[in-house]
Amino acid sequence: MPKNNKQKEQLSFAQKQRLAFIDFVLLFRGHFTRSDLTDKFEMGMANATRDIALYKEFAIDNLRFDNANKTYYQTKKFKPLFQHDARKTLVKLANDISNGYDAIGDIQFPVEAPSQLNVPDIFIVARLVQAILNKKPVSIIYTSLSSGSGAREIVPHAIVDNGLRWHVRAFDRKSERFLDFVLTRISKVTGLVNNIELFESRQEDHQWNRMMPLQLVPHPENIKHPKAIELDYGMQNGVLNLSVRAALAGYLLRRWNVDCSENATLQGGEYQLYLRNTKTLYGAENLAIAPGYESQNSKVSLDNKY
């Protein structure tokens, strides 16, 4: 008989950590081996085997063992043993943390952050992350601003927090180019078995791979005491030097209200920063949302607009 939640709560904190790790990896990668446990927790194979057996006692339908490659795989009946908070999990994924410990009541620190207005479905995120890690295409049901709801085949390669919302960067087989898809507008994800082509892969996403140097300075017209802004952003010699992916530059500039006009002409207290080297933006896409930036070469998909 499967163990219940009351019995789960009686486990030691260390046991919960190991089971939460198994649960997290199954959810977001779709598979794991005993070596994943031994490497993560510096334990022997026998102890790893006991933990896997214990996980099965709580969730026997969550995994199946492939004897040929000694790997445990997520089943179609998979239901997480722990509740993985969407906000915390997205932050962990963004910082390459794969422990799932927050689901068992990790240490709480007295720090608060403003709540986001939108939170993606954790299972949508999980299926996309699995596709990225396993280099597979997916079919999605997506609702865009321009064409409403419809099915699309994409090849995802990154999950991105643009400061206001989360999106997945992917090659869109319909338009045959790389685009950003807002996670909350994806209502269904279905894995596809066919392989991806080279032109669909991350290394061919030139806007993603191009790193752009940005030089941010206190706004020369709107700021009376620039030293305050220099202290806010830890500027060195009055300049904050950043290196940003071309695909993400527009989001950053919009989020921080950076004046990108050629001669710092935007007025208002919200424009505290100015992009000193505006010519660096030449050739970058998704700049229609960059404050004050105008270029004949600037392109933006309706899916990328705020």
In this predicted structure, the answer to whether residue 109 has a pLDDT above a threshold of 50 is no
Say how far residue 67 (Cα) sits from the centre of its chain: 33
**pLDDT for position 242:** 97
Lowest mean pLDDT among 46-60, 97-111, 210-224, 288-302: 97-111
Q: Domain spanning 122-205 has what CATH number?
A: 2.30.30.100
CB neighbour class for 79 (10 Å; exposed up to 12, middle 13-18, buried from 19): exposed
Average pLDDT of the residues in 142-153: 92
CA distances 167 to 2, 86, 158, Å, are: 38, 14, 9
Alpha carbon distance 157, 128 (integer Å): 9
Say how far residue 39 (Cα) sits from the centre of its chain: 25
Say how far residue 157 (Cα) sits from the centre of its chain: 10
Is pLDDT larger for residue 300 or for residue 273? 273
Alpha carbon distance 13, 19 (integer Å): 10
**pLDDT for position 105:** 54
- Domain ranges in the chain are 5-104, 122-205, 210-304
**pLDDT for position 274:** 98
Nearest Cα to Cα of residue 26 among 72, 66, 69: 72
Topology (CATH level 3) of domain 5-104: Arc Repressor Mutant, subunit A (1.10.10)
pTM of the model: 0.79
Task: State the residue for tokens 């309706």.
Answer: 302
Q: What is the DSSP letter of 114?
A: P
Lowest mean pLDDT among 106-110, 215-219, 251-255: 106-110
Task: State the residue for tokens 């950590």.
Answer: 17
CA distances 233 to 88, 122, 252, 279, Å, are: 25, 33, 14, 22
pLDDT of 219-239, one tens digit each?
A: 999 999 999 999 999 999 999
Instruction: State the amino acid at position 275 in one-letter form.
Output: L
Contacts of residue 269, defined as CB under 8 A and 6 or more positions apart, other chains included, come to 222
**pLDDT for position 9:** 84
CA distances 36 to 17, 26, 235, Å, are: 14, 11, 42
Question: Quick one: the chain helix, strand, coil %, rounded to 5?
Answer: 35, 25, 40
